[in-house]
Structure 1
């Protein structure tokens, strides 16, 4: 259950990052509420996952999902570069997260 919580925390982190972009475009209470919900959910699920997982592993995977997911969202929805080198490095981050799971 801890690993599922950690993945949910990473997905909430991705949502929070997307909401930062929304806040920059639309400064209204709904945008700020969604931003707080995304990061609040992220921290809540991360804290739950860290009850069973080592801090270093949980944090590395959480940031990996958030960072690579944010980059993927940027490519898909915000017109950011889809250069093959960028995609390979995102894959390396995700591969490292999978490696940490396998090593735990």
Structure 2
């Protein structure tokens, strides 16, 4: 259950980052709720996951999921670059997160 919570925490971090982007584009109550709710839930789920997963591993996976998720959302919805070098680096992050799960 801790690993599921950790992945969900990373996905909620992506929601928070989307909220930041929305606040920068259009300051509305909805965008602020997305920002605050996404990061708040992300921290709560991360805290729960860290009860059973080592701090360094949990933090690395959480930031990895958030980074990859935010990069993919940026590429799919906000016109960010889809350069092959960038995709390669994102793949390295995914491989690293999987590796951390396998050795935990």
TM range (shorter): over 0.9
- Runs of 4+ with deviation above 6 angstroms: none
| Unaligned runs of at least 5 residues, structure 1 | none
Task: Provide, for residues 57-101 of structure 1, a one-character-per-residue CA deviation record: whole Å limited to 9, x for no partner.
Answer: 000000001011111110000000000110010010011000000
Supply the distance in 1 between the matched residues of 2:73 and 2:34 (Cα, whole angstroms).
Answer: 16
Q: CA RMSD in A?
A: 0.6
Give the TM-score normalised by structure 2: 0.98
Correspondence list, 1:24-103, <5 A: 24-103=24-103
Say which SS state the counterpart of residue 80 (structure 2) adopts. Answer: coil
Give the TM-score normalised by structure 1: 0.98
What is the aligned length? 104
| Unaligned runs of at least 5 residues, structure 2 | none
